[in-house]
Amino acid sequence: MPIIKADLELCQGYANCVMEAPKLFDISDDGVVVVLEEEFGEETRGRVEAAVRSCPVSALRIEE
Q: Applying CB under 6 A, which residues contact ligand SF4?
A: 6, 11-17, 33, 55, 57, 59-60
Helix (H, G, I), strand (E, B) or coil at 39: strand
How is residue 40 annotated by DSSP? -
Contact 12, 56 (CB under 8 A): yes
Q: Which stretch binds another protein (CB under 8 A): 1-9, 36-44, 54-62?
A: 54-62
Q: Which of 47, 36, 34, 40 is nearest to 8 (CA)?
A: 34
Q: Is 53 in the site for another protein (CB under 8 A)?
A: yes
Q: Applying CB under 8 A, which residues contact another protein?
A: 12-16, 18-19, 22, 26-29, 31-32, 46, 49-50, 53-54, 56, 58
